[in-house]
Structure 1
């Protein structure tokens, strides 16, 4: 009888141990499953970067071979006279040694040439009357009087980097710039204008219709004035941001 009772107890203990091991195994499997799920690498989204390619079809805008150092030296000589005559320090005036041609610079920060004007002196009044933009901040009426007080610079004539000069034929100008974007004739003064988008602000989407971009520029406008088919002046305008 004792022998049968002992067998029954052993069988009961064996049954409980098997059940406990089965439960632990289940728990371990469950834990491993959760850990595997957490450690599964997440799918990464690929971000495509639109690499900007260099813009073709740009050109260097026109200017005059007057360095910033030359402008600084000229300002020191003319500042007192300019202030006396009501001109702001943002303007620079350089007149040829025979006083027949005048360069006017309207400067912005760091000598940025916001506006450059090249005039034949005896045609200044005719030109300024035709300009839509008030390029000299309403000071045109003082210009002729001021010119007479300017000290001649060591320049016989002024020629731009692109070869624009007083007396140049209209056909030669068109060879340089191509077909003008705007033409007007006002009381015998013909004005040809070219307008260029600057590559700095170009959105790379707008159709430029074959017009080149102004290199390292926010926007550039050229207006050249003719009388009897010959250049009597020009203005170069460089936008600011």
Structure 2
């Protein structure tokens, strides 16, 4: 009889013990989940360093001369357009440099902020009519005729600023007298070529590729007996 009475009491104690201990196990599991959630939320909300995407596009560096913008600046007061006159015609927005030892001249045709639109490089004793015709000169605000240019062109050469011979090599290393092979090695086969009176003209056009300091770059080289005698660099105006 004592055993049968004690059984319900023992069962009740065991039942209550299980129920009392169960919430503790649940609370530990929930706490663990809460801690994990908090840590994950904190990780996601923490600012992450920005991803830097490098510019892998290869850009074509256009050629130029090592003449600085300071050298291109107007050295005389009251002449912001760099105007010089020879006879009845004048040069405007251009800078003329020459070297007596090399007997060469470089002419820069400038736009806003020293932008070098066209650069001409030639021998002083081998200036042809077609080259002179390319260089814009004026009379009374109108383009000068080729006859006027031919008559007065040497007057601009005599007024050109004398500079050191080291400035007469481009940044890519081109000088008058270089071979045609050097040009094709640097630029590849020309896009255009022609021959006139024993002078070969090669032309390259770079317009649909990423360029540095240009919106379109064009190179014209003239060769006589395989040697460079004139060089013209064109940069498209934006």
Q: Tell which deviates more after alignment, 139-148 or 93-102.
A: 139-148
Query: Runs ≥4 in structure 1, deviation > 6 angstroms?
Result: 78-81
Q: Does 1:222 align with 2:232?
A: no
Indicate the residue corresponding to 2:185 in structure 1. Answer: 175
Between the aligned partners of 2:107 and 2:190, the Cα distance in structure 1 is 24
Between the aligned partners of 2:211 and 2:136, the Cα distance in structure 1 is 24
Indicate the residue corresponding to 2:100 in structure 1. Answer: 97
Alignment of structure 1 residues 70-109 onto 2, 5 Å: 70-72=71-73, 82-83=84-85, 85=87, 86-98=89-101, 100-109=103-112
Q: What TM-score, normalized to structure 2? A: 0.63
Q: 1:179, CA displacement in angstroms? A: 0.9
Alignment of structure 1 residues 3-82 onto 2, 5 Å: 54=55, 56-72=57-73, 82=84
Q: Which runs of 5+ in 2 are unaligned?
A: 1-52, 138-142
Give a deviation string over 1:70-121, Cα, whole Å, max 9, x none.
Answer: 1115667x98881465324301100013261000000001110010011111
Q: What TM-score, normalized to structure 1? A: 0.62
Task: Count residues in correspondence.
Answer: 174
Between the aligned partners of 1:69 and 1:148, the Cα distance in structure 2 is 22
Provide the secondary structure at the position in 2 that maps to 1:65: coil
Alignment of structure 1 residues 200-215 onto 2, 5 Å: 212-215=209-212
Between the aligned partners of 2:161 and 2:210, the Cα distance in structure 1 is 38
What is the root-mean-square deviation in Å for CA atoms of aligned residues?
A: 3.0
Give a deviation string over 1:162-203, Cα, whole Å, max 9, x none.
Answer: 111010011011111111111111111111100011xxxx5x
